Amino acid sequence: MVHSGQGETMSIGNLAQVTSWQEPTLAADPQRERIVAAQAGLIVHGGEQLNCETPPASLGAGLTPTAQFYRRNHFAVPLLDEARWRLGVSGLVDQEMSLSLHELTQLPAETMVVTMECAGNDRVRFERPASGVQWGPGAVGTAEWTGPRLEDVLRRAGIRPGAREVIFSGADSGSVEGSAEPIRFERSLSVADALESGALLAYAMNGRPLPARHGYPLRLVVPGWYGMASVKWLTDVQVTGESFRGYFQDTHYVYERGGRREPVRLMQVRALITRPATGQELASGAVAVRGVAWSGAAPIDRVDVSVARGRWQKARLIGTADTCGWQQWEFLAAGLHPGETVIRARATDMVGQAQPEQPEWNRLGYAANFIHEVRVVLR
Ligand SMILES: Nc1nc2c(c(=O)[nH]1)N[C@H]1C(S)=C(S)[C@@H](COP(=O)(O)O)O[C@H]1N2
Ligand SMILES: [Mo]
């Protein structure tokens, strides 16, 4: 069932026959999940659900180890049984499908390095408070994801004329403000975005089966988009002729500024300093600064570093940049004097977008791409 633009409920296709999802009977114990996260060195946020971020010092490598990858959950983490799980493909398609994990692994697969960032990353820096988890800058990570292309599965099903959007449903559910019934985590993409964004139906992360907390057995991975698009514990893909107005589509993940409303989509350009760490004591003289930078719109063109409030200087881009993964960079700051020193880094992407001094506040605190800074003490 989907909510049409008018707010009524309507059914699409022959869902009853293909819907694979059954109420998950098991959920991961959030207390245990928090302990696992803290032991891996993650910063665990309060609240009922598992939400934790990675300290920037653990984000310097090309790939983020799975154990250190941030986790962002609206509801409890469902523990799904592969034997009962199916991916349903339904709605405005020529051939409805119900695919087992085994069947999905038999399809041609692609492996892609993709940077994923929570839309609320770093919202703690907005001076005017914005609601939501008060993330610092570490709700981001880069992993290698493997699975069939969403486009291939949709083409196999055959998209019928009149199709407008594709709705992706996760198996997790719970109550949200303003709705009496529990709802599932659901998001949509336009048919064009579903076919052209390069999205994967990923069953592996960093070469291993997806862990439960990252969406086992299958998640969507939409390169370039903020993380909310990458629906975990995916069970249903429904092609619809309507415009989807779900809670996580239309109430959340919308920029609300000055009476305007605009959906949250691509990750904004941003650089992160991974070395040195804030508070670190270093010998004065020369300091090696390292970091990563990414943008959902285009590859990174340049990263500039400012030390001790001095002029912006160009950093060196290093390593191979994956099309959808972050760019590593380094900068050698020389001739530094003792005392507390601020190091800042700022990225520009190949379509010319640069990080603003002050990202535009919005009520729900999305896309807070503040210029990252660390404070070190030089001896
Ligand atoms: N089913 C489901 N998918 C989801 C979410 C969720 O709560 N439920 N959270 C989304 C958000 S907001 C983000 S940022 C990413 C986080 O993915 P991760 O926990 O694997 O890092 O998953 C997205 N997919
Ligand atoms: Mo997110």
Provide the pLDDT for residue 22: 61
Look at residue 24 in the predicted model and tell me its pLDDT. 59
Q: Which atom of ligand 1 is nearest to the CA of 72?
A: 19
CA 91 to CA 165: how far, in whole Å?
10
* Ligand 1 atom with least separation from CA of 71: 19
Say if CB 358 and CB 369 are below 8 A apart. no
**Does residue 11 have a pLDDT over 60?**
no
CB-based pocket (< 6 A), ligand 1:
69-74, 118, 170, 172, 185, 214, 227-228, 230-233
pLDDT score of 277 more than 70:
yes
Counting ligand 1 atoms within 8 A of each CB, the residue from 45, 50, 51, 118 with the most, and so the one to mutate, is 118
Q: Output the six-digit token pair for 200.
A: 């994967």
Give the bridge partners for 239, in sequence order: 91, 166
- CA-73 nearest atom, ligand 1: 7
Average pLDDT, the chain: 92
Neighbours of 270 (CB within 10 A): 29
Q: Are 77 and 157 in contact (CB under 8 A)?
A: no
The tens digit of pLDDT for each residue in 203-212 reads 999 999 999 9
Mutate which of 59, 73, 114, 145 to test ligand 1's pocket (most atoms within 8 Å of Cβ)? 73
Q: Give 291-318 pLDDT, tens digit per residue.
A: 999 999 999 999 999 999 999 999 999 9
Question: Residue 155 in contact with residue 95, Cβ under 8 Å?
Answer: no
DSSP secondary structure code for residue 247 in this structure = I
Distance from Cα 16 to the centre of ligand 1, integer Å: 26
pLDDT by residue (tens digit) across 131-162?
Answer: 899 999 999 999 999 999 999 999 999 999 99
- DSSP3 helix / strand / coil % (the chain, rounded to 5): 15, 40, 45
Look-up of token digits 């200087």: 313
Contact by Cβ (8 Å): 294, 284: no
Give pLDDT, residue 178: 84
Three-state DSSP class for 94? coil
78 pLDDT above the threshold of 80: yes
pLDDT at position 179 is: 84
* Ligand whose nearest atom lies closest to the CA of 230: 1
In order of their start, the domains of the chain are 2-263 (3.90.420.10), 270-378 (2.60.40.650)
CA 169 to ligand 1 center in whole angstroms? 12
Mutation to probe ligand 1, out of 228, 234, 248 (largest number of atoms < 8 A from CB): 228
